[in-house]
């Protein structure tokens, strides 16, 4: 099947674009007549004032039939920014690169026209589409509950600008502190010290680990920490700063030291947390050298980590936890949200199959890496080898944490190969009282 991306209107395009969007979003979100009529009206209004000098419409055509579309509406580019609209690919073309080709054509047009800002609206849960948006430089800037398309969803706004990849924490009025320590030769560090890999990280997390947000929610709701207290937190393997941001939003007087081995990851975290100013300090360094990284640091009320410590073997993890506990205040909390290996070899194939089926379903044919079970399994094998994944079974994980000095490590949440494990240091009364009862 030959796929051609063409620019401009062709006969039948309006009806076909409305049909593709109407059927797809009815399946995905239950959108109905309101959505389809609104979209048809806005598409006709756009094409009635279409100006090739500022606007663009691209169609993916296969065997003479429109199978995908994307548009750039430049009508308000000067004040509100250009708008990316009506991005859709048919079931027939999903996983064949058509979506990526359409988005690449649209963004090349925006760069050629010198547009300083492009925006788009979508809704949460479209993981494969979000992967493409973030791969092409868009960043999530707003999320709110709404019903602009006729059914209530978590509406999301993404924004793009030519300088978004070049922003650094130093551009903010309150500059986050960044310190650097020499790195060890660890593949899990170098695997993420690449702009292309980091640009895809958050979108990939939505596809591969959709429970990440739920796991952090459990931690923030369960731990008896006073939201009014000036807590000090330590984020081990901070990545792009997702856990740190959630923690600082929950505890408005808190401060976090965020450590990661990949400088590019820290740069992305700096962008995500730029508005929090001096409430976060960054360090680049190897977690296996945590003791030297924390020299001179005040003790912390909580140490937390997500999807990072499985890169360490059991001995390295034990050393890291001991070093972390030595900088944790008495009765402070240690939290690890991470991957596990299966305790039972007999169950491992079934659990792996469940995970792969979930990824394929979430990708929904829009990501060639996860087009079917075979390609997904191959990706996961290569990905794990690149990152040097070394997850422990739950029984081994608990034993390592106990041996390192964590008191009564407790499984707070568990699903298949992902768990949240928490524990306290030492004995006695907590440093901060629990949350007040409403």
pLDDT, one tens digit per residue, over 173-200 is 344 444 444 434 344 444 444 444 444 6
125 and 181 housed in the same domain: no
Greater model confidence, 207 or 257: 257
CA distance 262 to 190: 7
- At residue 190, the pLDDT reads 42
What is the DSSP track for 74-104? -TTTTTT-EEEEEEEE-TTTTTTTHHHHHHH
257 and 382 housed in the same domain: yes
Question: Which of 167-176, 202-211, 297-306, 323-332 has the least mean pLDDT?
Answer: 167-176
CATH number, position 245: 3.40.50.150
In a domain, 429, yes or no: no
Domain count, the chain: 2
CA distance 42 to 56: 15
- At residue 194, the pLDDT reads 44
CA distance 326 to 288: 14
CA distance 277 to 264: 19
**pLDDT at 6 exceeding the cut of 50:** yes
Which H or E run contains 426?
Answer: none
CATH number, position 25: 3.40.630.30
Q: How confident is the model at residue 427 (pLDDT cuts 50, 70, 90)?
A: low
Greater model confidence, 284 or 268: 284
- At residue 317, the pLDDT reads 95
CA distance 369 to 363: 9
Greater model confidence, 265 or 434: 265
Question: Which of 98-107, 168-177, 424-433 has the least mean pLDDT?
Answer: 168-177
**pLDDT at 204 exceeding the cut of 50:** yes
123 and 206 housed in the same domain: no
Domain span at residue 359 reads 169-424
Question: Which of 33-37, 39-43, 98-102 has the least mean pLDDT?
Answer: 98-102
Q: How confident is the model at residue 425 (pLDDT cuts 50, 70, 90)?
A: confident
In sequence order, the β-bridge partners of residue 56 are: 72
Q: For residues 122 and 156, is the Cβ–Cβ distance under 8 A? A: yes
CA distance 430 to 173: 36
In a domain, 435, yes or no: no
396 and 261 housed in the same domain: yes
- Which residues, including other chains, have CB under 8 Å from residue 42's CB and lie 6 or more apart? 85
| pLDDT tens-digit readout, 36-50 | 999 999 999 999 999
Per the structure block, which two tokens stand in for 280?
């976060």
CA distance 142 to 229: 28
In a domain, 433, yes or no: no
Q: How confident is the model at residue 433 (pLDDT cuts 50, 70, 90)?
A: very low
Side by side, the strands of the sheet bearing 3-7 are 3-7, 56-62, 65-73, 82-89, 118-123, 153-160, 139-146
What percentage of the chain carries pLDDT values higher than 90? 57
Give the mean pLDDT of 56-70.
Answer: 94
**pLDDT at 166 exceeding the cut of 50:** no
In a domain, 375, yes or no: yes
| pLDDT tens-digit readout, 213-265 | 999 999 999 999 999 999 999 999 999 899 999 999 999 999 999 999 888 78
What is the DSSP track for 31-63? --HHHHHHHHHHHHHHHHT--TTT-EEEEEEET
- At residue 95, the pLDDT reads 66
- Segment of 113-127, 204-218, 229-243, 374-388 carrying the highest mean pLDDT: 229-243
39 and 134 housed in the same domain: yes
CA distance 260 to 418: 21
| pLDDT tens-digit readout, 306-353 | 999 999 999 999 999 999 999 999 889 999 999 999 988 889 899 999
- The residue from 160, 178, 204 where one domain ends is 160
- Tell the burial category of 159 from Cβ atoms under 10 Å away from its Cβ (0-12, 13-18, 19+): middle
33 and 150 housed in the same domain: yes
246 and 375 housed in the same domain: yes
Give the mean pLDDT of 368-372.
Answer: 89
Greater model confidence, 7 or 276: 7
Per the structure block, which two tokens stand in for 106?
């649209």
**pLDDT at 430 exceeding the cut of 50:** no
206 and 152 housed in the same domain: no
- At residue 200, the pLDDT reads 67
In a domain, 436, yes or no: no
Per the structure block, which two tokens stand in for 320?
């890291």
- At residue 364, the pLDDT reads 84
Burial 11-21 (b: 16+ CB within 10 A, else e): eebbebbbbbb
Q: For residues 360 and 370, is the Cβ–Cβ distance under 8 A? A: yes
In a domain, 393, yes or no: yes
CA distance 311 to 390: 5
224 and 126 housed in the same domain: no
């Amino acid at each position: 099947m030959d796929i051609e991306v063409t620019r401009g209107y062709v006969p039948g395009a309006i009806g076909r674009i409305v049909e593709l969007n109407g059927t797809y979003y009815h399946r995905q979100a239950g959108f109905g007549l309101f959505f389809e009529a609104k979209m048809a009206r806005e598409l006709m209004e756009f094409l009635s004032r279409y100006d090739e000098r500022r606007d663009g419409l691209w169609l993916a055509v296969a065997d003479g039939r429109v199978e995908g579309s994307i548009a750039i509406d430049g009508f308000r580019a000067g004040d509100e920014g250009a708008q990316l609209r009506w991005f859709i690919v048919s079931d027939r073309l999903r996983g064949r690169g058509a979506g990526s080709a359409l988005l690449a054509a649209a963004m090349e047009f925006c760069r050629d026209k010198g547009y300083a800002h492009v925006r788009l609206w979508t809704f949460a849960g479209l993981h494969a589409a979000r992967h493409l948006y973030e791969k092409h430089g868009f960043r999530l800037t707003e999320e709110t509950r709404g019903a602009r398309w006729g059914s209530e969803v978590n509406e999301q706004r993404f924004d793009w600008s030519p300088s978004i990849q070049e922003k650094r924490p130093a551009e903010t009025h309150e500059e986050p502190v960044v310190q650097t320590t020499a790195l060890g030769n660890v593949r899990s560090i170098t695997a993420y010290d690449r702009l292309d890999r980091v640009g895809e990280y958050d979108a990939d997390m939505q596809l591969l680990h959709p429970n990440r947000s739920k796991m952090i929610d459990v931690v923030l709701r369960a731990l008896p920490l006073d939201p009014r207290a000036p807590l000090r937190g330590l984020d081990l393997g901070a990545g792009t700063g997702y856990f740190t941001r959630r923690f600082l939003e929950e505890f408005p007087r808190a401060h976090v030291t965020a450590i990661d081995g990949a400088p590019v990851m820290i740069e992305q975290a700096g962008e995500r947390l730029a508005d929090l100013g001096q409430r976060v300090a960054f360090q680049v360094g190897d977690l296996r050298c945590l003791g030297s990284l924390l020299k001179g640091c005040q003790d912390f009320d909580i140490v937390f980590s997500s999807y990072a410590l499985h890169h360490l073997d059991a001995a390295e993890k034990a050393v890291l936890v001991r070093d972390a506990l030595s900088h944790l205040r008495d009765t402070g909390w240690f939290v690890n949200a991470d991957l596990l290996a299966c305790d039972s070899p007999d169950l491992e194939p079934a659990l792996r199959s469940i995970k792969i089926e979930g990824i394929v379903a979430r990708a929904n044919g829009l990501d060639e890496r996860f087009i079917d079970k075979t390609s997904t399994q191959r990706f996961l094998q290569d990905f794990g080898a690149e990152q040097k994944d070394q997850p422990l079974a739950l029984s081994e994980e608990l034993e390592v944490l106990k041996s390192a000095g964590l008191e009564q490590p407790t499984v707070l949440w568990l699903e298949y190969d992902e768990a949240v494990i928490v524990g306290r240091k030492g004995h006695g009364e907590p440093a901060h009282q629990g949350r007040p009862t409403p």
